[in-house]
Copies of this chain bind each other. A is one copy, B any other.
Amino acid sequence: MAGRKKAGAGARSAKQRATRAALTHDDIMGLAVRPDPELRRRSELLWEDRTRGTRGPKPGFAPDDVVRAAVEIADADGIAAVTMHAVASRLGFTTMAVYRYFPNKETLLDAVIDAGTGSPPPLTEPRADWRTELRQWAHAKRASLCARPWLAELPFVAAPHGPNWLGWLEAITDSLARTGLNAADIGGALSIVDGYARGASDTAVSLARARARGITEAEWAAGVGADLGRAIGDPRFPRFSALITAPSAGNPRTIDESFDFGLERVLDGLELYVRSVIAP
């Protein structure tokens, strides 16, 4: 019933199967496999053109207004404060009015996630080398996550992907194309950089979340230190205790420096591979 008229989508279906990590040719050229229905439904609703018929009263607001209101609430008070009632009343309407635009909260949150993700910074001309661009991309991604720490309070499921998310993939693909790697390797490299950027942003995001709660950096660090410090003296964690109490830790990296250190190692590994493949 839903989406029956999407003839165009159907015609495209042969090319629609793909996974970020591993696309078989058959996946892309597509077969008779029915896609995960829940993902399909959510993806459709995320990309749906929400224009309505022309009959009836004028809408008092638009889907984008709803999403914007939700993002503002999340920015101010965290994702838990984003209730259907809160969103609606910020717009000056009753709760149920929102349901004219989003069939349920999950769908709204899909849109909120994409809006919160935002667009990647545009690649500047003249273009830099791929390593520089990847570094910039990773920094931008981390900054984006820290700017909206409530994104971390949502499940980190990958799908459905909205236009903004695809925008980030487009940007990194563009930079990776400069390596000269083939498509499969670009996909692999993409996973590496994206995986590292998201996984290793953890600490900074955690700090950003604390900041949003009015905790200072020093208080946050003391809390994390005390938490991890429980290892100290515990016979189950001798090595880790030694690590965090080691005097050489007296010259530690900042959170940012730590991220950069790791990023350079990751890029080193990638560069090594590029060199081995491209210039034999």
A residues at B contact (CB < 8 Å): 1-4, 6-9, 12-13, 15-25, 27-30, 33-40, 43, 47, 76-77, 152-161, 163, 166-167, 169-170, 173-174, 177, 182-184, 186-189, 191-192, 194-203, 206, 209-234, 236-240, 242-255, 257-259, 261-262, 264-270, 272-273
Q: Which residues of B contact A233 (CB under 8 A)?
A: 12
A230 nearest CB neighbor, chain B only: B47
CA distance A135 to B236 in the complex (A): 22
Once the chains bind, are B270 and A212 in contact (CB under 8 Å)?
no
A78 nearest CB neighbor, chain B only: B2
Ranked nearest first, the 3 interchain pairs of A and B with the lowest CB-CB distance are: A199-B199, A22-B252, A269-B269
Once the chains bind, are A240 and B43 in contact (CB under 8 Å)?
no
With both chains docked as a complex, state the minimum distance between the C-beta of A57 and any C-beta of chain B, in angstroms.
32
With both chains docked as a complex, state the minimum distance between the C-beta of A197 and any C-beta of chain B, in angstroms.
7
With both chains docked as a complex, state the minimum distance between the C-beta of A257 and any C-beta of chain B, in angstroms.
7
Once A22-B249, A161-B227, A253-B184 are accepted as A-B contacts, the answer to whether A196 and B203 lie under 8 Å apart by CB is no
Q: Which of B159, B201, B232 contacts A16 (CB 8 A)?
A: B232
Q: Which residues of B contact A34 (CB under 8 A)?
A: 219, 222
Q: Which of B2, B237, B267 contacts A213 (CB 8 A)?
A: B2
Once the chains bind, are B28 and A225 in contact (CB under 8 Å)?
yes
Once the chains bind, are B35 and A252 in contact (CB under 8 Å)?
no
Once the chains bind, are A20 and B170 in contact (CB under 8 Å)?
no
Q: Which of B237, B262, B269, B273 contacts A191 (CB 8 A)?
A: B262
Once A192-B265, A220-B36 are accepted as A-B contacts, the answer to whether A19 and B253 lie under 8 Å apart by CB is yes
Once the chains bind, are B186 and A243 in contact (CB under 8 Å)?
yes
Once A35-B225, A223-B39, A254-B19 are accepted as A-B contacts, the answer to whether A265 and B266 lie under 8 Å apart by CB is yes
Once the chains bind, are A9 and B221 in contact (CB under 8 Å)?
no
Once the chains bind, are B195 and A35 in contact (CB under 8 Å)?
no
Q: Which residues of B contact A13 (CB under 8 A)?
A: 226
Q: Which residues of B contact A209 (CB under 8 A)?
A: 157
Known: A19-B203, A183-B246, A195-B200. 20 other contacts (CB 8 A): A9-B216, A17-B221, A17-B255, A20-B228, A24-B249, A25-B251, A28-B232, A28-B244, A36-B210, A43-B223, A47-B230, A153-B157, A161-B230, A166-B231, A166-B234, A184-B251, A187-B253, A188-B258, A265-B272, A268-B269
Can you pick out 18 interface pairs between chain A and chain B where the beta carbons lie within 8 Å of each other?
Answer: A16-B229, A17-B221, A22-B253, A23-B224, A39-B220, A153-B157, A158-B206, A159-B223, A159-B224, A159-B227, A161-B227, A173-B239, A184-B253, A187-B258, A196-B196, A199-B200, A266-B269, A268-B269
Q: Which residues of B contact A155 (CB under 8 A)?
A: 152-155
With both chains docked as a complex, state the minimum distance between the C-beta of A270 and any C-beta of chain B, in angstroms.
5
